[in-house]
Amino acid sequence: MNSIKTIIANVIAIYRRELQSYFASPFAYIIAGVFWLLSGFFFVAILMGPEGLIAQAALRDQMGITTPPVDVAYQFLSYFLGILGSLALFILPMLSMGLYAEERKRGTLELLATSPLTNWVVALGKLLGVVTFFLTMVLPLLIYQAIALSAANPPAPITVMLLGHAGLILMAAAILSLGMFISSLTDSTILAAILTFGLILLLWVVDLVATSIGGGLGDALGHLSLIKNYTTLTQGILDTSSLIVFLSYILLGIFLTAQSIEAFRFQRS
C-alpha cells in the first residue's frame, strides 16, 4: 500500500520536473511554434486552398455531381491527421532527444541513480512528462478544428476526430518512448535525435518493406508499421490490435530504457 503510494509520488515528482523543464526551455517553445505554424498552414491549405477540399466540393456542386456524396469533414480529418502524423515524425525526436542524454551530460543521472527510485519509475515519469508536453502542442489544434468543423454539413464525425487525435497522441507516445531509450544510450542529444529519426522512419515505412517480402514474415512486419496502425485510427476505426501495437512500443521503450540505465551503471569504466 505504502510502497505503491511512494511509487506514484516518485513518478509524479519526475513527471513534474520533466514537464517544468520543457516549459522553461526556449528550445521547446521554438519546436511548438514551428509545429503550430506548419499545422496551421496545412489546415488552411487542405481546407481552403485553391485545390482544397472546399474548392473541390464546390466544383462538384457546380458540375452537378451528387453521387457519391462527399463528406468534407471526414475527408479533411483523415488528410489533416495524416499531415500531423508526418510532422510529428520530425518534431518528436527533438522532444525526446534530451530526456536522458541531457541528464548524462549534466551529471544529474548520478543524482537520480543514487536516490531511492527505480529506473522504470524515472523512465515512466519522464515519458509522461514529454507526452504531456506534446499533448499541450496538439490541444490548440483541436480548438480551431472544432470551430471549422462545427460548420460542416453533414455534421463532423466527432468520434473520428477524437479517436484520430487519441491515435496521434498514442503514436507519439510510442515514438517518444523509443526515442527515450535511444536518448539513454548516449550523452549526445544530436546523436540521439538523428538515431531516433532513423528508427521511426524505418518503423514508418516498414509496411512497404513488408509488402515486398510478403508471406508470414511480411505480414508480421506489416503489423509493426507505425503509419498503418495510425491510419487505422485516423479513419475512425477502433482497432484493438493497433492499440496493442502502440502500447507494446511504449512498454518496450520504458523497459529498454530501464535496462540500458542499469547496464550503463554496471559497465561504465
Partner 1 sequence: MIEVEQLSKLYGSTPAIQDVTFSVEAGEILGFLGPNGAGKTTTMRILTGYLPATSGTARIAGFDVHEDSMAVRKRIGYLPETPPLYGDMTVEGFLHFVARIKGVAAGDRSKRVELAMRRCNILEKRQVLIRKLSKGFRQRVGIAQAIVHDPPAIILDEPTVGLDPRQIIEVRNLIKSLAGDHTIILSTHILPEVSMTCSRVAIINRGRVVATNTPEQLMAQLAGGSGYELEVEGDTAALAARLHRLPGIRTVEIGSGEGLPKSRSQVRLTLEPGMDPGREIAATVVGSGLGLYEMRRVRVSLEDVFLELTTEEKAMDGSTAAPSSDANNTDAAPDSPGGEAA
Q: Which residues bind partner 1 (CB under 8 A)?
A: 6, 9-10, 13-14, 16-17, 20-21, 24-25, 106-117, 265-266, 268-269
Mention every residue, 6+ apart, whose C-beta is less than 8 A from residue 35: 87, 91, 137
In the complex, the smallest distance separating the C-beta of residue 177 from partner 1, rounded to whole angstroms, is 21
- Minimum CB–partner distance for residue 158 and partner 1 (Å): 39
Rank residues 104 and 165 by Cβ distance to partner 1 and give the closer one: 104
Chain centre to alpha carbon of residue 9? 25
CB of 245 to partner 1, least distance (A): 33
Nearest approach in angstroms of CB 200 to partner 1 is 27
**Least CB distance to partner 1 at residue 269 (A):** 4
Question: 484493438: which residue's cell?
Answer: 240
**In the complex with partner 1, which residue's Cβ is closer, 95 or 156?**
95
For partner 1, the closer of residues 6 and 211 by Cβ is 6
Long-range contacts of 150-155 (CB under 8 A, 24+ apart): 152/72, 152/73, 154/71, 154/73, 155/73
The answer to whether 179 and 226 are in contact (CB under 8 A) is no
- Output 16 or 228, the one with its CB closest to partner 1: 16
**Can you say whether the dihedral through the CA atoms of 204, 156, 136, 251 is positive or negative?**
negative
Nearer to partner 1, 118 or 150 (CB): 118
For the chain, what is the radius of gyration of the CA atoms? 21
